[in-house]
Amino acid sequence: MGGNRKALAFSGRIVMVGFGSIGQGTLPLLLRHIDLKPEQIVIVTGDENGRKVAAEYGVAFHDSPLTPANFRTLLEPRLGRGDFLINCSTDVSSVALITLCQERGALYIDTCIEPWAGGYTDVSVTPAARSNYALRETALKLKRPGTPTAIITHGANPGMISHLVKEALLNVARDCGRPVDAPKDRAGWARLARELNIRTIHVAERDSQVAEPRKAPGEFVNTWSVEGFVGEGCQPAELGWGSHERHFPADGRRHDAGCKAAIYLTRPGASTRVRTWTPLAGPIHGFLITHSESISLADFFTIGDGDSPEYRPTVHYAYHPSDDTVQSVHELAGRNWQMQASHRLVKDEIVSGVDELGVLLMGHEKGTYWYGSRLSIVEARRLAPHNSATSLQVTAPVVAGVIWALRHPDRGVVEPEEMDHAEIMDFIRPYLGQVVGEYSDWTPLQDRGRLFDEDLDGDDPWQFKNFRVV
């Protein structure tokens, strides 16, 4: 499944829903790695963005925003048995599209579980009901044996991150003198994580890409979907809640149903910061933005009952986006989470920088281990057209997932943790720039208390209260 292998044959139709930065970056990779004619692909999206890219590749382009009232009328004639729907959209219900694909016998993939427009910020429902936890539980109810494969949440994160965690666990085991074969099932992976004493896992990301012109007042700038970032940033902060945690947050809430592997905070993720570490940036403050992998990874590694597990690591995102995006978030918060009038998705305007995206495994005998992708804008442009460093870390896993689904077409609803990580990594590794693993003695207690007295748990550095910035 490697990046340079012969293109996979496919005779069906592909419908791409949404064609922003991720859709535009995915299209050339699809045509590179799957034996397709342009007439086999149709794009259905909500605006004119990307029409020139579609025309470049001779692909049909329809500016037709999908709504609960019209999505069936627009998509049913284009989807039949063996066809494929690639969902790169925002504001279109993933559950609605998966249901349609199951009815039509079509395959499916997305990069996150989306609600219909306004679902992330609907104040008429509780924070719990608009959480990623709730969206995931709803999607998992569509699991039915023998139905067409529907891969959910398979971009960079969520998606690639789950495969990086497995590879990182094997690396740590080897470096601690206990080389093991890759476990064959969920129970085996959970036992390995417990044996290594993995207490906390961060999705630790620092995006240092810079675009010209820089952000202007009243403008939201981002290196991937503006609407997507603002939507998830306004959701409650969510994290998988580890069995070692002994300080439940005052603003934390548990869920009444489901896997019970995660909690949420009664505040937006874009206003919640945590301490983390990456090799290039060193110690940084990141946003605890809700992401599905925080829940699915914590659930995957749980041993015992969901309410009171024998073992579970704490898992969450710790995201330091581009500097202009950080400024955009501060401005958004000052506007009480009302989107700025102007927003700009930067890609061609990026002039320098690296997206350093990986997993930070903490608590094992070597302390802290970061493992992930270090991809520069220069390298991303060399590797694939119409991509930035940020988008390529998403689009390569999307195409890897499409190929996996074509080879495994009857798996029903599938999460990244249920897939063969080695098969996926074999495909995406050539698109990740430098794949780096680095150990550190960093902990969230490092240099704390030097200027002010803080309420810390000095006996256990891996408590969430030590990571949280208050």
Q: Which amino acid is at 322?
A: S
Q: What is the pTM of this model?
A: 0.96
**Are residue 202 and residue 111 in the same domain, yes or no?**
no
Rounded Cα–Cα distance for residues 460 and 245 (Å): 10
Rounded Cα–Cα distance for residues 108 and 412 (Å): 10
400 assigned to some structural domain? no
**Are residue 71 and residue 23 in the same domain, yes or no?**
yes
Q: Are 3 and 424 in contact (CB under 8 A)?
A: no
H helices of 196-253, in order, are 226-234
- CATH number at 290 reads 3.30.360.30
415 assigned to some structural domain? no
**Are residue 190 and residue 337 in the same domain, yes or no?**
yes
334 assigned to some structural domain? yes
DSSP 93-154: -HHHHHHHHHHHT-EEEESS---STTGGG-TTS-TTTTSHHHHHHHHHTT--TTSPPEE-S-
Cβ atoms within 10 Å, residue 446: 13
Is the C-alpha dihedral spanning 240, 322, 228, 343 positive or negative? positive
Q: Which amino acid is at 70?
A: N
**Are residue 35 and residue 143 in the same domain, yes or no?**
yes
147 assigned to some structural domain? yes
If you compute the radius of gyration of the chain from its CA atoms, what whole number of angstroms results?
21
3-class SS of residue 22? helix
- CATH number at 114 reads 3.40.50.720
Q: Judging by DSSP bridges, how do beta strands 210-211 and 219-222 pair with one another?
A: unpaired
411 assigned to some structural domain? no
Domain extent for 308: 160-393+423-469
> What pLDDT shows up at residue 451?
76
Q: Which amino acid is at 180?
A: V
> What pLDDT shows up at residue 5?
59
pLDDT by position in tens, the chain (length 470): 444 456 899 999 999 999 999 999 999 999 999 999 999 999 999 999 999 999 999 999 999 999 999 999 999 999 999 999 999 999 999 999 999 999 999 999 999 999 999 888 888 999 999 999 999 999 999 999 899 999 999 999 999 999 999 999 999 999 999 988 999 999 999 999 999 999 999 999 999 999 999 999 999 999 999 999 999 999 999 999 999 999 999 999 999 999 999 999 999 999 999 999 999 999 999 999 999 999 999 999 999 999 999 999 999 999 999 999 999 999 999 999 999 999 999 999 999 999 999 999 999 999 999 999 999 999 999 999 999 999 999 999 999 999 999 999 999 999 999 999 999 999 999 999 999 999 999 999 999 977 788 889 999 999 999 999 99
**CA nearest to 415, candidates 306, 293, 259:** 293
**Are residue 215 and residue 191 in the same domain, yes or no?**
yes
**CA nearest to 370, candidates 466, 279, 462:** 279
**Are residue 454 and residue 348 in the same domain, yes or no?**
yes
Rounded Cα–Cα distance for residues 249 and 20 (Å): 37
Q: Helix, strand, coil shares of the chain as percentages rounded to 5?
A: 35, 25, 40
> Structure tokens of 294?
């925080």
Rounded Cα–Cα distance for residues 355 and 207 (Å): 4
**Are residue 48 and residue 175 in the same domain, yes or no?**
no
**Angle in degrees, CA 436, 27, 135, rounded to 5:** 75
3-class SS of residue 80? coil
Q: Helices 160-175 and 292-300 sit at what angle, rounded to 10 degrees?
A: 50
